[in-house]
Structure 1
Amino acid sequence: MKNSFYILLLILASFQSCKKLEASEIQMISAEEMQQRFQTENIQVIDVRSAEEFSKGHILTAKNILVNEKADNPKFFDTLNKEQPIVVYGRESRQAKKAINILEDKGFKEVYELEGGIENWILLGGNLD
């Protein structure tokens, strides 16, 4: 049964792997692929929900930033490694896209939005902190 789950997970990941949205140019990453990549890569995770939502549960290793707080953004984004992939998620896709645009403007190359957000992550059994 456990092997069947992993085979299904691999099949889903192959179909749902990083998709590029034509209109917005935002790269999406599925929760399945993110879980797989966590095992072999250092992935930076940014949660753009409110501090209150973040404190109720967030993806392990996620850092919290509110993209509306312009004063804190430059210092925060400078703490990230441009050589490592970054996954962004929020309550609304609009918030995540705003953060992704800032990251891309600052020269980050491998930036993704988590498809389905934290809700999808939880549904697929992803760990929370």
Structure 2
Amino acid sequence: MSILSFLFKEQSLPDTIKILDREDYKKAISNGKVQLVDVRTRAEFSSGHIKGASNIDFFQGLAFESAFSKLKKEKPVYLYCQSGNRSQKAARRLVEMGFVEVYDLRGGYRTWSY
């Protein structure tokens, strides 16, 4: 294993978290009846986001947890951020909060071109 692949590989994730490429992610959210959440800041969200997404800023601590406590834990949640880093951290927090199925957009919003 090269040093680069070691440094940049995805960390092992719980089975409840799946990372989807943009095509699979687009198909999964296409019916519009999903819990789709952008975990970027309000400013990032305002500069562009996936249609139908709610904005719950990962950096807002208690407000983040409070907002997610209003979502259905047994229903899949689709997350994204700018690059995929924050949303993976958010996904881990959601699993800790009891969410059973969490999906993350590989590469984040920067890869979204729809």
Structure 2 unaligned regions, length at least 5: 1-9
Match of 2:78 in 1: 87
Q: Helix, strand or coil: the match of 1:97?
A: helix
Higher Rg: 1
Count of residue correspondences: 103
Aligned-pair CA distance for 1:103: 0.7
Q: 2:44 aligns with which of 37, 47, 53?
A: 53
State the TM-score, normalized to the length of structure 1: 0.68
Alpha-carbon distance, 1:117 to partner: 1.1
3-state DSSP of counterpart to 1:75: helix
Larger RCO: Structure 1 or Structure 2 (Cα < 8 Å, ≥ 6 residues apart)?
2
Provide the residue aligned with 1:110 in structure 2: 101
CA shift for structure 1 position 56: 1.2
The aligned counterpart of 1:7 is none
1:48–1:39 Cα change, 3 Å = closer
Q: 1:97 to 1:38 in 2, by over 3 A?
A: closer
Residue in 1 that maps onto 2:25: 34
Aligned residue number for residue 77 of structure 1: 68
CA separation in 2, counterparts of 1:76 and 1:48?
Answer: 11
Root-mean-square deviation over aligned CA pairs: 2.0
- 1:98 is aligned, of 84, 89, 107, to 89
TM-score by length of 2: 0.76
